[in-house]
Amino acid sequence: MKTVFKISILLIIILFYNGCKRDSDIVPDKIDKGISLKLAINHKVDGVPLIFDSLMYTNDAGNNYEVTRLEYYISNITFHSSTGKDFSPKKIVYVNAQTLSTNNITLDSVPEGQYNYITLNIGIDTAHNTPYSLPNTNENINMAWPDYMGGGYHFMKFEGNYVYLSSNVGFSVHLGQNSSLVTCIINNPFLVSSSTSEIKLSMNLNEWFRSPILYDFNSDGNATMGDKQARGKIAANGINVFSME
């Protein structure tokens, strides 16, 4: 008799407890919807703001060069949290350094908190790097990677001219194909609070030619599109191209 009584009390407590839990679900505390912020990208060459069509830059191999085109995709942006869940918006963003409206990426619902670092890809992940998977905008059509070369999209078109034996020679650093997907690590702790409106990222073009593999147009090639080995070197160097300002 005593045991039955004890069990009854226990059941009443459990029911009451669950009842409370449900009530608190119906009237939740303030829901954290996160904040909207702008990822603002600028382009530099070792600290000097990028000016197009100006033969004023030199990479570590000594190639004196100018830039005539810079277009690429960013995907898989992830803010790595030190306090909660990582923030990873599913976005594939087209950036053209000469079209400033494409240099600001709006991110919605970013949870407030402390983050350790950012990772992102330059290019398009394997699942989406297939012919015509992106909307048929002019930008996306122009970035297509030819079907006969494997299809999908260019990850980057970085073009210009460099000086070779005192004349100007064109270069085209084109990345594409899943093997040249670039992983960037931006190793910089940052806080996202209700007053955060912008995070500034800077791409240093000389990093594409710097490390871990010194890239020289004269010995490594000035056109990477049909050269898997050259693409591999450029893609590996992409790990450090972005930094936070």
- Least distance (Å) between residue 175 CB and Cu ion: 8
How many positions of this chain bind Cu ion (CB under 5 A)? 2
> Residues of 97-107 as b/e, b for ≥16 C-beta within 10 angstroms?
beeeeebebeb
Q: Which of the stretches 19-27, 52-60, 113-121, 171-179 binds Cu ion when contact is defined by CB under 5 A?
A: 171-179
- Least distance (Å) between residue 171 CB and Cu ion: 12
- 244's CB contacts (< 8 A; 6+ apart) are 118, 186, 188, 190, 199, 200, 201, 202
Q: How far apart are CA 103 and CA 51, in angstroms?
A: 15
For the chain, what percentages of helix, strand and coil (3-state, to nearest 5) are there? Answer: 25, 40, 35
- Least distance (Å) between residue 21 CB and Cu ion: 58
Q: Which of 43, 174, 231, 233 binds Cu ion (CB under 5 A)?
A: 174
Strands 198-204, 35-45: pairing kind: parallel
234 lies in the site for Cu ion, by CB under 5 A: no
- Residue 183 and residue 189 in contact, taking contact as beta carbons nearer than 8 Å: no
- Least distance (Å) between residue 226 CB and Cu ion: 8
Looking at the Cβ atoms of 43 and 174, the one nearer to Cu ion is 174
- Least distance (Å) between residue 197 CB and Cu ion: 36
Strands 35-45, 104-110: pairing kind: antiparallel
Looking at the Cβ atoms of 157 and 210, the one nearer to Cu ion is 157
- Residue 123 and residue 129 in contact, taking contact as beta carbons nearer than 8 Å: yes
Q: Which of 225, 234, 235, 241 binds Cu ion (CB under 5 A)?
A: 225
Residue closest to Cu ion, measured at CB: 174
Q: Per-residue x/- mask for Cu ion, residues 131 to 170, rule CB under 5 A?
A: ----------------------------------------
67 lies in the site for Cu ion, by CB under 5 A: no
**Phi and psi, residue 9, nearest 5°:** -60, -45
- Least distance (Å) between residue 210 CB and Cu ion: 22
Contact residues for Cu ion (CB under 5 A)?
174, 225
